[in-house]
Structure 1
Amino acid sequence: MIYNRKLGRLEQAMEILNSRAKTWNIVTISRIKGYICEETLTQALDVIQCRHPRLSSQIVRSQNSLSFQSQGTANIALRVVRQLNNEQWQEVVYEEINKGIDSSKGLLRVVLVHLLGEEHITYLITTIHHAIADGLSSIQLHSEILTCCHKIVSGEPINLATSLTPLPPIEELMPEWTRGFRGRINSIIFLLQVALQHIWNRPQTLGFEKYVSIAKRRCNIIQRQLDQDLTQKLVNHCRQENTTVHSALCAVLMFTIGRKIIKDHRKNVRVNCLSYFDLRRHLEPEISDDHMAVLASSIMGFHTIKRNTSLWELAREVKQKLEVGKKSGQLFKMILIAKHLIDFCFIYPKQVAATVSVSNVGKVNIPKHYGEFELEEISFAGSHALYAGVFVIHASTFEGKMLLNFVFSQPSISQDTMENLVNNVMSYICDICNLNLNSSLICN
């Protein structure tokens, strides 16, 4: 069946980011115990391509419009890499996160990394276009691939009748008040509100250590993790302090930047945080996790960190503002203005989009065991070369262990600066978990 259609506004924005800045494609990394051969993975990808017809689509430009078309799309691109040690998979991630997707040919590519001398360890790395997937669905995709691999090697039948119908554009799934003339008025009002908030608050950011044009920017990633004990301590302390892990991560990142940029003569630091959330549970009817689509949105929060502000106080403030934002429909309003905000980034490339950005999918609810294959770790990251000067984190928790991917645009933030910031974040998290936190993180 053919599922050709024009891209929605958010999908168009994702293609603009991919084609002009190699930005916002989603790279997902799995560490797997068990040897997956190329032939097995190729068969599994064929099954996945049938299950998700959008993986058989390409994006075609005609008469100033962008459309999904599925005629003549090639099989999913697969590359096999053999590395000498356990660290070199990161080189593949760096390569993938800086390589745009040729959307005229396909919307997903896959890399299989075999570690020489460790044949029982495999890395599965996928890069998918953000117009057809978000962090949650990219993680779900890995689970489906591993399920297919298990069935193939064990000789079990695979039911191809479970192919899913692609969803319409997210704009058609949102509430009625976001559509038509009323939706246009709401988007204009909200865009003005966001602009006024920026002008009024003037949030401070890392800025540019070195400025280069968008075309010359590169994305890099630093990965850290919390073991099961530390992760559980963080969860427990967040509950005790009447906040969430997401809000605590936002607070830690903002305090980290605040500590770096505060001057002795300043009494406070103004910052802002861009928080990303899954939209599936906010739609009526709810959308199943099985569906692959871009079903995520964001809320921008503005905060002032005073010298006596505690981290938990800030975390509770973040939580409260996010709850208010959700109730007021900001998740939907941000979808309405997303393309305008992205256009602004291209028109004014020296502007910094936010102080920090946090995307936390929380507990990953996929199996650990797939027959002879065992999923040891899984995490994701967006390619954010465009967003210079923003301190970005992507978090996921699997089997009780939290993985943190810190993504940054170079050379606006140098490797040394980022490593220092990441080390400070990890130190603050350890302080939270071990109750060694002072009342203020930015006060010397």
Structure 2
Amino acid sequence: NMKNGSSEDNHLGRKVIAVERYFYKRPNPNVIMIGRFQGVISEEQLKAAISKVRKRHPLLNARIRQEKNGDAYFITESVGEPWVQVIDFDSIGVDDLLGRAVKELRTRHSTEHGPLIRFVLFRTQNGFDLLVNSHHMICDGLSLYYLIRDIFVHLSTPDRKIVPLPEPVIVENNLPPSATLKNYYNKLILRFNKSWAKKGIIFDEADDIRLHDKFWKMEEGLNITHWNLSERQTSSLIQRCRKENISVHSALCTAFLLAQIEVQGKEPYLRNISMPVSIRNRLAAPVGEAFGLYFSSFKIKFKRPKEKSFWANALAVHEHIQQQITDKNVFTVYMQLKDLHPTLVDSISFTRYGELEDKLAKRLLRLEGDYTLNTGLDLSNLGVLEMPDNRGLLILKDIIGPCCYNEFQEKYLGVVTLGKMYFTVTYREPVVSKSVVESLKKVAMKHLGEAVGW
């Protein structure tokens, strides 16, 4: 339960759980989504709508307090209004928005002062675009869509009452019985914690700022590419996938696997696709539309597609994914992090970028495995989302995102389906060029088009 508290108070609010902790000290924890709208609003109307959704989603009001023992809590005491910047344009194009999204990916949220979310409103004479930039500790891709939709609802119907959501059960207390770890791993964690606790290492906000600045000096050249299918193309793809008994996600994986081989060659890492998986309905008690971090991610290694027909390849991909997506695999990362000492989880980022020299932290980093480019694509498909009521004066036209950046994944592809299917790729130019990303888009869409018959 998040509540106000003083430093003498033992229960400052809800404790930050380990998977949130994983993003707490990362230098690149931002997730961005942009809603594009037709219609006119004022800054006051937007702020009033944001104020209402803050009552529905408590994490929008949070900052982090870290205790002397390293435990961290979400607290709401002394947290200001979210930062809202308003920019007026005669006209604005997608490239302008993508350029700002790149800048926002590099912008640091102060976890100590909060809030962990910020907004940019771009206005033209007959439309507006709302960019939401949130710290990954408090959100996932679906959370950002629900938030944009809720803001839209309160802008469209200002008299509408706020519907607070029931407080979700904390994920770590809500794991399904099938989420287990091998016994040797539990023993290893106990040994790690015992050795680590003696060191008394803790990272403060000054350490975070130093790490953030160092990271973004190294990681220049971010870029984002965005496109969409038409409504007709989208519905024909969904219908054909149903007919073939495979998921749209499997068809997208197949199209991009084939495109990567054709455009980029046979490098082994290109056969690895990372998949964020929503855990909202996999938990013992589902969390519905709560705003928070409710996803898991794991990497699947695919064989090179060998069949002549796209759908035969897609079926093989689909079956491989289904075998891998078990509760045990989905919750492995939760189980591995759950009992680790909190500041040992923090040490992963500081060790990775040379800000901490410690044998134990290095060993953990090796176990965790992410210290070199190892994945061709992270395919974050939010699925078919429910369109808000578009019959009023305001109309939601387009969604860009989710955008986020992970240096161990060559390309991050966010896919959202709202009538049309929207694709947004975040990548870094020194690693993969814009022309390669454009070719991948072209070839992947050609495979889908030929398979569906656009």
Q: Give the TM-score normalised by the residue count of structure 1.
A: 0.80
Quick check: 1:60 aligned with 2:44? Answer: no
Distance 2:248 2:420 in 1: 13
Given the alignment, which residue of 44, 47, 53 partners 2:49?
44
Hey, what's the Cα distance between the residues in 1 that align with 2:379 and 2:348?
18
CA distance in 2: counterparts of 1:297 and 1:325, whole angstroms: 13
- C-alpha separation between the residues in 2 aligned to 1:181 and 1:324? 20
Q: Residue 392 of structure 1 corresponds to which residue in structure 2?
A: 412
Aligned to 1:327: 326
364-373 vs 292-301, greater mean Cα deviation: 364-373
Q: Deviations over 1:131-190 (max 9, x none)?
A: 1111112101111111212233xxx2534xx434543542222124547996954998xx
Amino acid corresponding to residue 397 of structure 2 in structure 1: E
Measure how far apart 1:272 and its partner are: 1.6
Q: Deviations over 1:229-254 (max 9, x none)?
A: 11122112222333111011111111
Q: Is the 8 A contact 1:56 1:106 kept in 2?
A: yes
Q: 1:245 aligns with which of 230, 244, 248?
A: 248
Q: Distance in 1 between matches of 2:180 and 2:301?
A: 27
**Structure 1 residues 101-140: aligned runs within 5 Å:** 101-104=109-112, 105-115=114-124, 119-140=125-146
Aligned counterparts, 1:3-402, within 5 A = 4-17=13-26, 20=27, 22-23=28-29, 25-63=30-68, 64-87=70-93, 88-104=96-112, 105-115=114-124, 119-152=125-158, 156=159, 158-159=161-162, 162-164=163-165, 166-176=167-177, 178=179, 185=186, 215-218=217-220, 219-262=222-265, 271-289=271-289, 291-305=290-304, 308=307, 310-327=309-326, 329-337=328-336, 351-369=372-390, 371-388=392-409, 390-398=410-418, 400-402=419-421
SS, match of residue 224 in structure 1: strand
Partner of 2:204: none
1:22-77 Cα deviation digits (max 9, x unpaired): 23x22111111111110111111111122222111112333233321211000111
The SS at the match of 2:137 is coil
The equivalent residue for 1:403 is 422
**RMSD of aligned C-alpha atoms?**
3.1
Structure 1 pair 426/336, CA: closer, same or farther in 2 (3 Å)?
A: same
Assess if the C-alpha contact under 8 Å between 1:276 and 1:297 holds in 2: yes
Please give the alpha-carbon distance, in whole angstroms, between the structure 2 residues aligned to 1:231 and 1:137: 23
> 1:85 offset after TM fit, Å?
2.6
Aligned to 1:427: 446
Structure 2 partner of 1:439: none
> Does the CA contact (< 8 Å) of 2:254 and 2:314 recur in 1?
yes
Deviations along 1:403-435, one digit per CA (max 9) or x if unpaired, are: 001111342122232222222222322222227
Number of aligned residues: 394
Call closer, same or farther: CA 1:385–1:304 in 2, change over 3 Å: closer
Question: CA separation of 1:73/1:226 partners in 2, compared to 1, >3 Å: closer, same or farther?
Answer: same
Range 326-335 or range 101-110, more displaced: 326-335
Please say if residues 299 and 322 of structure 1, whose CA atoms lie closer than 8 Å, have aligned partners that are also in contact. no
The Cα shift of 1:342 comes to 6.7
Are residues 341 and 430 of structure 1, via their aligned partners in 2, closer, same or farther at CA, if it must alter by over 3 Å? farther
CA distance in 1 between counterparts of 2:156 and 2:413 reads 32
- Report which stretch shifted further, 378-387 or 339-348: 339-348
Q: Unpaired runs of 5+ in structure 2?
A: 4-11, 190-213, 338-344, 354-364
Partner Cα distance (1:217, 1:27) in 2: 18
Deviates more, 1:3-12 or 1:363-372: 363-372
**Shift of residue 298, structure 1, vs aligned partner:** 2.4
Q: What one-letter code is carried by the residue in structure 1 that aligns with 2:24? A: E
Counterpart CA distance in 1 for 2:92 and 2:100 is 12
Tell me the percent identity: 21
Report the alpha carbon displacement of residue 332 of structure 1 after superposing the two structures with TM: 1.1
- Residue 213 of structure 1 deviates from its aligned partner by 6.3
Residues 224, 403 of structure 1: 8 Å contact kept: yes
Offset of residue 401 of structure 1: 0.6
Give me the whole-angstrom Cα distance separating, in 2, the residues matched to 1:260 and 1:341: 37
**AA of the residue aligned to 1:96:** E
| 1:391/1:408 contact within 8 Å kept | yes
Deviations 1:372-396 (A, max 9, x none): 21111224223215335x2321101
Determine if contact 1:177/1:183 at 8 Å carries over to the other structure.
Answer: no
